[in-house]
Amino acid sequence: MVTMSDVAREAGVSMMTVSNVLTGHRRVIAPTRDRVLAAVDRLGYEINLTARHLRSGRTDTVALIVPSFHDYYSEVADRIAPLVEQGGRHLVLERTGARPQSEIESLGVARLQIYDGVVLSVVGLDRERLEKVRTTAPIVLLGEREVPSRFDHVQLANEEGARLATAHLLARGARRVLVLGGTLDEASGMASLRRAGWERAHRDAGVPADRALVVPLAAYSARESHGVVGDLLDAGLRVDGIFAVTDTAAIGALAALADRGIAVPHDVQVVGFDNLDAGRYFSPALTTIDPNHDEVARSTVRLLDRRMAGSDDPPERVVVPVSLVVRGSTLP
Amino acid sequence: MVTMSDVAREAGVSMMTVSNVLTGHRRVIAPTRDRVLAAVDRLGYEINLTARHLRSGRTDTVALIVPSFHDYYSEVADRIAPLVEQGGRHLVLERTGARPQSEIESLGVARLQIYDGVVLSVVGLDRERLEKVRTTAPIVLLGEREVPSRFDHVQLANEEGARLATAHLLARGARRVLVLGGTLDEASGMASLRRAGWERAHRDAGVPADRALVVPLAAYSARESHGVVGDLLDAGLRVDGIFAVTDTAAIGALAALADRGIAVPHDVQVVGFDNLDAGRYFSPALTTIDPNHDEVARSTVRLLDRRMAGSDDPPERVVVPVSLVVRGSTLP
DNA sequence: CTGTTAGCGCATTCAC
DNA sequence: GTGAATGCGCTAACAG
């Protein structure tokens, strides 16, 4: 293995000069720099990033820790990556598998401290567990749970999005609106917030919200949703609107309706949440809530950059506004 | 910051004993071990992974380097992760953005050597550029381009998959089969291999393959495909089958057909490639080629594990078999 | 603009 | 079963 000291000897300079040429931290006059670069080339030298890290305390790497590499997370990741790169750092993704145990391990200070900054998507981790996370590494939380106020936190306007979706259905004449993937369990984050928005839209419109129409899902997959909605319909449940808390759930619902010859939007109107690209290409195309990934990415990176620059401003909570995208699965 | 030597002092032992307790590399008798663990707890000590890495030369981390965090790559990543974890290592994802320049940078020995092993998804990188990649770090290539024989390489049975898809269309009576996202450019990997499979199916069936039906796509997105297919149909192109080289392209094509009231599968039959979950929920559901992600993941990790264990067996090329999944977008 | 000194925190090696 | 010495490869800090 070629080390920096080999390069220094080859170029007839000190190690510090080689280091300065490579990092650009200090000016090196052109002839010296050229000798160094020529030596680097001749020897095929590559810097040892681990040693640099141990010495300098920086990795120039940011980690985004997510439950899985899918869907919502890959959307956000693809948007965060270029912003992190603009700051001269790399982005890496790590996966937790959504088990709280694993989210905590990923948070283990040991693993956190190898990064200059961490974005942690909080799904399975409740407030109590987060309280225990002690680290000096800059960290921004992403997600819909409540988190301790000492963290910077970016979340969606969940309740408002759900309210928009449901109000749209009610305004288009729906009176029995299923909230697919909602829950009455107050503590559970996204599913509960979106159910709350569904209720609020009903209150605003003066339409009673039937709690029997709150239907939880074991997973926000099209498969699960397809099965659950199919069973409900077969059992005789009568609805004229479905607000699905995710687009994948909405897609399963659309298929269950189509299987039974129920016309969308004429018999049942459907709204999703996430604005997945695929939704645009269904017939009818899926009306949905756009979660504004770009703004989520921008806010996240802004907060993280601020911390990595050493700021000790008070933690911020950013609620990213969302918007309704009207397509064919609801009435004009 | 608490270091290992602080823990050693607190426990009244040497650093080596602390290290041995934490790594398990050597046996430490229970009373000593307990004193060490108690001291770790009291001081809130967390190991410095960077120092461990510099000293030991291992990171216990594998990188999967992909063009984007989307679709096919996130599917494969979600399957590779648990297999890597079974081997006691972490998986991290890095993104190249599919620019050859960036793929080379990701390959820079500097960045590679911080990982115990690397899986590189080769999209923009041609054989010539790969020839220049010199590294001792274990590396497995993933993807459809030709690569130098010194690399372990996992790829799909692209041509066979395309042949299956096209043969299915021809057997169902289609005679003018568009290959959407194909190319006549021999050097371009996936798009060219799948077009070759389309040709072979025609030869096998004794049906002439009209090269005017090879339609490249600038991107394998539903948006691009929707536009391209729409324009072709509006220009009067007459087809009775579409083999789309990816499911996302197929989805755009389905929408373009639906927009124009062309019945699937009656007027035009459609087959995709990737077996995305969403395809199952379209009406009609999308017939597609299943790329066998599980087997891709298994083969990749097997090859990488072998290298990381120090094997210098000759490089292997694994071609993962694919299969046809028949759904409603083709005739029974 | 360039060099010297010192040490980041740990695990390998050798000793007992 | 435990300890002492050594150095992995690099850069911060301080000269000059």
- Spell out the per-residue pLDDT of chain A, length 332, in tens: 899 999 999 999 999 999 999 999 999 899 999 999 999 999 999 999 999 999 999 999 999 998 888 878 888 999 999 999 899 899 999 988 655 555 555 556 788 889 999 999 887 666 767 777 777 789 999 988 888 899 999 999 999 999 999 999 999 999 999 999 999 887 668 899 999 999 999 999 999 999 999 999 999 989 999 999 999 999 999 999 999 999 999 999 999 999 999 999 999 999 999 998 889 999 899 999 999 999 999 999 999 999 999 888 999 999 999 999 999 999 99
Residue A200 zone, left/alpha/beta (φ > 0; ψ -120 to 50; rest): alpha
Nucleotides of D under 7 A from a protein CB: 1-5, 7-13
Q: Do B57-156+293-320 and B158-291 fold alike per CATH?
A: yes
Q: Mean pLDDT per 10-residue run, chain B (332 residues)? A: 93 94 91 93 93 93 90 89 92 76 59 91 72 79 88 94 97 95 82 94 94 92 94 93 96 94 94 93 94 96 94 94 96 92
Kindly report the nearest CA distance between residue B145 and chain A, in angstroms: 24
A280 touches chain B (CB under 8 A): yes
Instruction: Identify which of B70, B92, B280 has the shortest CB distance to residue A78.
Output: B70
Indicate yes or no: CB of B53 within 8 angstroms of CB of A48.
no
Question: Is-contact B90 B63, C-beta < 8 A?
Answer: no
Nearest nucleotide to the CA of B11, by C1', is D2
- Pairing mode of beta strands B152-156, B139-142: parallel
pLDDT of residue A187: 66
Domain ranges of chain B: 4-47, 57-156+293-320, 158-291
Residue ranges of alpha helices (H) inside B118-221 are 127-131, 158-171, 190-205
| Strand C close residues, chain B 10-39, CB < 7 angstroms | 15-16, 19, 22-23, 25
Q: Is the peptide bond before A265 cis (omega within 30 degrees of 0)?
A: yes
Instruction: Sort out which chain B residues have CB atoms less than 8 A from A44's CB and list them.
Output: 134
Indicate yes or no: CB of A113 within 8 angstroms of CB of B46.
yes
Cβ of residue B98 lies below 7 Å from strand D: no
Each as own residue / partner, the long-range contacts of residues A293-297 (CB below 8 Å, 24 or more positions apart, any chain) are: A293/A75, A293/A76, A293/A79, A294/A79, A295/A320, A295/A321, A296/A76, A296/A79, A296/A142, A296/A154, A296/A156, A296/A320, A297/A76, A297/A79, A297/A80, A297/A83
A79 touches chain B (CB under 8 A): no
Question: Is-contact A304 A119, C-beta < 8 A?
Answer: yes
Q: Is the peptide bond before B265 cis (omega within 30 degrees of 0)?
A: yes
Instruction: Sort out which chain B residues have CB atoms less than 8 A from A82's CB and list them.
Output: 97
- Give whole-number Cα distances, B268 to B271, B281, B326, in Å: 10, 19, 15
pLDDT of residue B122: 82
Q: Between A and B, how many CB-CB pairs are < 8 A?
A: 135
Bridge partners of A317, per DSSP, are A153
Question: Is-contact A256 A237, C-beta < 8 A?
Answer: no
| Strand D close residues, chain A 39-58, CB < 7 angstroms | 47-48, 51-52, 54-56
Cβ of residue B20 lies below 7 Å from strand D: yes
Instruction: Identify which of A50, A94, A278 has the shortest CB distance to residue B251.
Output: A278
Give the Cα separation of B252 and B219 in Å (integer): 12
Instruction: Identify which of A92, A108, A281 has the shortest CB distance to residue B222.
Output: A281
Instruction: Identify which of A248, A252, A281 has the shortest CB distance to residue B254.
Output: A281
Report B:207-236 residues touching A (Cβ under 8 A): 221-223, 226
Instruction: Sort out which chain B residues have CB atoms less than 8 A from A281's CB and list them.
Output: 222, 226, 251-252, 254-255
Cα dihedral angle (B297, B302, B303, B304), rounded to 10 degrees? 80
Question: Is-contact A326 A287, C-beta < 8 A?
Answer: yes
Instruction: Sort out which chain A residues have CB atoms less than 8 A from B53's CB and list them.
Output: 50
pLDDT of residue B330: 95
- Listed residue (B254, B314, B326, B260) closest to B290, CA to CA: B326
Instruction: Sort out which chain B residues have CB atoms less than 8 A from A248's CB and list them.
Output: 277-278
Rounded CA–C1' distance between B134 and D9, in angstroms: 21
pTM of the prediction? 0.91
- Listed residue (A114, B311, B34) closest to A94, CA to CA: A114
Closest residue by Cα to the C1' atom of nucleotide C2? A17
Nearest nucleotide to the CA of B46, by C1', is C9
Q: Which residue of B has its CA nearest to A248?
A: B278
Instruction: Identify which of A50, A114, A222 has the shortest CB distance to residue B278.
Output: A222
Where b means 16+ CB within 10 Å and e means fewer, B195-214 reads: bbbbbbbbeeeeeebeeebb
Question: Is-contact A97 A68, C-beta < 8 A?
Answer: yes
pLDDT of residue A107: 52
Nucleotides of C under 7 A from a protein CB: 1-5, 7-13
For the stretch A222-265, pLDDT in tens is 999 999 999 999 999 999 999 999 999 999 999 999 999 999 99
Superfamily of domain B158-291: Response regulator (3.40.50.2300)
Is A4-47 a CATH 1.10.260.40 domain? yes
Is A57-156+293-320 a CATH 3.40.50.2300 domain? yes
Rounded CA–C1' distance between A89 and D15, in angstroms: 32
pLDDT of residue B124: 65
Instruction: Sort out which chain A residues have CB atoms less than 8 A from B67's CB and list them.
Output: none
Say which DSSP state B280 is in.
G
pLDDT of residue B283: 86
A282 touches chain B (CB under 8 A): yes
| Coil/strand/helix, residue A225 | helix
Per-residue DSSP letters for B15-26?
HHHHHHHHH-SS
pLDDT of residue A123: 77
